[in-house]
């Protein structure tokens, strides 16, 4: 499931992130890439800086924790510390799938879901679309600053070459409680119906059926 999350970050958070990144050091993105990805990766990423990262992580994780679309669409179990990537004219990231296992300094975890958070407005750069291969064909995504998109980490995807300006994004990866993307999609859609029924027809017998079905399917499929 490819799921857009509008307004994950508000304007004040975006401005704070830009302020923190203004004097940060960016290095060759190949340093964090696996062997296969390094051959097609051409971008810059913020060098690890504990104090700077602590502030950036706090901003992003607070937003993720409060966003219902993220919580119910992704069902997050573990969330990786974000990477901040910059693309200047001529930079790109060719077709790849994300590493299946991540975690260097902390516990290792499986990557089920990838997330891109856009930090620059679309008019600030040309090109730079996130292109994702889906069962329905290619989807090209270029969102407003503060918007995010999540998609299965197993999806073949790329960043189209930037031809003008600067593309700035935050990236993270999630191990979901529910490994299978089709099961996550079913649970997400079922929960949309469940929440509507709980708000509008709480006493109806049908609402109870849907509520219990959601809970028991999650119990059946979740890995802890």
Query: Which uninterrupted H or E stretch holds 26?
Result: strand 26-28
pTM (2 decimals)? 0.95
DSSP string, 141-205: E---TT-EEEEETTS-EEEPPEEEE-EEEEEEEEEESS--HHHHHHHHHHHHHHHHHHHH-TT-H
- Whether 204 and 139 map to the same domain: the answer is no
- Whether 144 and 186 map to the same domain: the answer is no
Structural domain of 34 = 3-176
pLDDT in tens, 146-174: 999 999 999 999 999 999 999 999 999 99
Whole-Å CA distances, 172 to 61, 68, 201, 220:
10, 17, 37, 27
And the tokens for 84? 């901040």
- Whether 104 and 61 map to the same domain: the answer is yes
Judge whether residue 2 has pLDDT over 90.
yes
- Whether 88 and 191 map to the same domain: the answer is no
pLDDT in tens, 106-120: 789 999 999 999 999
Q: What is the pLDDT of residue 136?
A: 86
- Whether 196 and 163 map to the same domain: the answer is no
- Whether 120 and 207 map to the same domain: the answer is no
- Whether 134 and 207 map to the same domain: the answer is no
CA distance 200 to 198: 6
User: How many domains would you assign to the chain?
Assistant: 2
- Whether 151 and 58 map to the same domain: the answer is yes
- CATH number of the domain enclosing 129: 2.60.120.620
Straight-line distance from the first to the last Cα atom of the chain, in angstroms, rounded to the nearest whole number? 22
Which residues, listed in sequence order, are joined to residue 34 by a DSSP beta bridge? Answer: none
- Whether 70 and 54 map to the same domain: the answer is yes
- Whether 54 and 113 map to the same domain: the answer is yes
């Amino acid at each position: 499931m490819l799921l857009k999350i509008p307004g994950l970050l508000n304007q004040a958070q975006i401005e704070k992130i830009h302020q923190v990144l203004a004097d940060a050091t960016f290095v060759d993105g190949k340093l964090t890439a696996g062997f296969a990805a390094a051959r097609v990766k051409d971008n810059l990423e913020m060098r690890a800086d504990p104090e700077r990262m602590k502030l950036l992580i706090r901003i992003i994780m607070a937003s993720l924790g409060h966003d219902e679309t993220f919580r119910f669409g992704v069902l997050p179990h573990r969330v990786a510390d974000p990477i901040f990537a910059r693309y200047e004219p001529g930079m790109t990231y060719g077709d790849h799938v994300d590493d299946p296992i991540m975690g260097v300094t902390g516990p290792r975890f499986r990557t089920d879901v990838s997330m891109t958070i856009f930090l620059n407005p679309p008019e600030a750069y040309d090109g730079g679309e996130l292109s994702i291969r889906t069962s329905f064909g290619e989807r090209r995504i270029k969102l407003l600053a503060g918007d995010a998109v999540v998609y299965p980490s197993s999806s073949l995807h790329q960043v189209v070459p930037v031809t003008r300006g600067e593309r700035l994004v935050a990236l993270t990866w999630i191990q979901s409680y529910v490994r299978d993307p089709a099961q996550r999609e079913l649970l997400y859609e079922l929960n949309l119906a469940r929440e509507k029924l709980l708000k509008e027809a709480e006493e109806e017998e049908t609402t109870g059926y849907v509520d219990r079905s959601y809970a028991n399917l999650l119990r059946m499929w979740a890995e802890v």
